[in-house]
Amino acid sequence: MMEEIHAPRGIKLNTKGWGQEAALRLLMNNLDPMVAKDPKNLIIYGGKGKAARNWEAFDKIIQSLKSLENDETLLIQSGKPVGIFKTTENSPRVLIVNAQIVPRWATDDIFWDLEARGLTMYGQMTAGSWIYIGTQGILQGTYETLSALAKKEFGKYSLRGKWVLSSGLGEMGGAQPLAIKMNEGVALVVEVDKDKINRRLRDKYLDEWTDSLDRALELKDKAVKSGTSISIGLLGNAATIYDELVLRKIVPDVVTDQTAAHDLNLGYIPEGYDLKGAYEYRDSNPSDYKKKVYESIVKEVKAIIWFKESGSKVFDYGNNLRTRAREGGYSRAFEIPGYVPAYLRDLFTIGSGPFRWLALSGEPNDIFAIDDKIIENFTEDEHLVNWIKLAKKMVHFQGLPARICYAKYGQRERLGLLMNEMVRKGEVSAPIAIGRDHHDTGSVASPFRETENMKDGSDAIADWPILNALLNAISGASWVSVHHGGGTGIGNSIHSGLVIVADGTKSAEERIKRVLNADPASGVIRHADAGYQSSIDVIKKGVKFRTPYF
């Protein structure tokens, strides 16, 4: 077991260049106790999403990054450093591949057996690619989803006077209460783990909590009636609470779930158990435990279908809840729409998705300076500016100060060049690491989430994330990653990520121009190829790439 890990701050290098330094700091930042779910076991978020395979591998990654030259590339095979090669200064400093399994063998049972034998590692999305920024990372996507829902379902840009029922306050679900509040709605989020509730209270993602459904409903009713935004955590089991609301015939305005249902062994606690009792039963009788998990998931999903039929706007938030319910014998689970085809597809088609940056200095003022520069320079995008203002006011940093926003094709390059110029001029105190979630416009194939119900039926075509990773690598990203299974579990997704460092140099400027054009452009092409007119329109308006078909 290691001591607490915190990323280095300031401008003193621990490595031979800012690309290596950014990789070292972001890997360590992933394991900061303020960021990671279970840092002692290298687990960052999303069930068992890890930053490194084991502590020996972590130590060797750090050693390798410290010795890595500015024209060398480190290879990471499922959380383990396996080789350093002479490449070029414009090549990635690190290439990461996590959890790739030949499709015939890509099942939970086989994967977790291989993982237990120390042969692979579940990297989730941004855990094993060293670009997790705490709950803020999903906060903005949740904010965008709910904003799009409000516009589509209620005809306004706000959830004022509406209440949202959800469950799960873990590393992903913990963003929900604040995102709902930022959209001026009322959040009632069920969570079985009091420690997770406490963490959200500590980080100001949650306003208050109760273990009484009656008290929670009383607080909710008061806030809805007055048009006040508030977030309420309810200690309890989601299946139990949802079913009780059905029995009482209480119909929320919006219903979803963000438990880690993709992980049956860790991410969803069955009815009748607290955490300690659940895990003891799981370890003593794993097959019966899994059966009870399925029963509880089915019970919850049946309740969500009742809410839908009673007038609630419901959606699956990409955690594989519907699949698990169907596996548990409930054939109607997929009557619940996925959130991407329902609300986010229109953003993906124009190359928009979760774009993020971190201050390698560790100075919050560096992020605030970038906030101010965006507000000043992106006045034409009122929605983006409004988000930045809200984030600056309401978001609590975890680990290295960071920010995220949904930025479309063209905007990402502008943002990257703006940050590089700020570094060059000394308007921020150290270089900025720029990255994104793997949950993006052209970097993922995930038929139960990002690529669900593609217009041309290409949901499961996984060429696109591989092309995206290869293109980002040759364009000069600082590091590139390809993962399997993030978000929806083993066998259900392939996705890629990147980081590029803005260090104020001319070289960084040129690489930013290439990478932050190529990365979202691959998303535009992917959706244009699938027949989305808005993607075709982006291409016809003028882009910095060519495509033979448009």
Q: How far apart are CA 60 and CA 131, in angstroms?
A: 19
Q: What is the 3-state secondary structure (H, E, C) of 75-126?
A: EEECCEEEEEEECCCCCCCEEEEECCCCHHHCCHHHHHHHHHCCCCCCCCCC
For domain 136-343, the CATH superfamily is Urocanase like domains (3.40.50.10730)
**411-425 and 364-377 helices, crossing angle to 10°:** 130
Q: Is the confidence at residue 387, as pLDDT, over 50?
A: yes
In which residue ranges of the chain is CATH 3.40.50.10730 found? 136-343
Predicted TM-score (pTM) of the model is: 0.91
239, containing H or E segment: helix 238-247
- pLDDT, position 2: 61
- The whole-number pLDDT of residue 290 equals 94
Q: Taking each helix axis as running N to C, give the angle between helix 136-154 and helix 382-394, from 0 to 180 degrees, rounded to the nearest 10.
A: 130
- Out of 350, 405, 433, 528, which one is annotated catalytic? 405
Q: What is the pLDDT of residues 190-231, one digit of tens each?
A: 999 999 999 999 988 999 999 999 999 999 999 999 999 999
Percent of the chain with pLDDT over 90: 92
What tens digit of pLDDT does each residue of 170-179 get? 878 899 999 9
pLDDT at 349: 98
> Lowest-pLDDT range, 6-20, 252-266, 410-424, 434-448?
252-266
Residue 548 pLDDT greater than 60, yes or no:
yes
pLDDT at 1 over 50: no
Exposed (0-12), middle (13-18) or buried (19+): which is 226, by Cβ within 10 Å? exposed
Quick: pLDDT tens for 467-518: 999 999 999 999 999 999 998 899 999 999 999 999 999 999 999 999 999 9
Give the chain's length.
550
Q: Which amino acid is at 450?
A: E
DSSP track, 234-269: EES-HHHHHHHHHHTT---SEE---S-TT-TTTT-P
* Separation of alpha carbons 179 and 185, rounded Å: 9
- The number of beta carbons lying within 10 Å of the beta carbon of residue 157 is 15
C-alpha R_g of the chain: 22
CATH match for 1-134+352-550 among 3.30.70.141, 3.40.50.80, 3.40.50.10700, 3.40.1770.10: 3.40.1770.10
Q: Where in the chain is the domain with CATH 3.40.1770.10?
A: 1-134+352-550
φ/ψ bin of 118: left (φ > 0), alpha (ψ from -120 to 50), beta (otherwise): left
Average the pLDDT over 272-301 and give the result. 94
What tokens were used for 522? 């691959």
CA 336 from chain centre, in angstroms, equals 21
- Could you tell me the maximum CA-CA distance found in the chain, to the nearest angstrom? 66
Given a cut of 70, is residue 313 above it in pLDDT?
yes
What does the pLDDT look like over 84-116, one tens digit per residue? 999 999 999 999 999 999 999 999 999 999 999
pLDDT tens-digit series, residues 40-86: 999 999 889 999 999 999 999 999 999 999 999 999 999 999 999 99
Would residue 405 show up in a list of annotated catalytic residues for this protein? yes
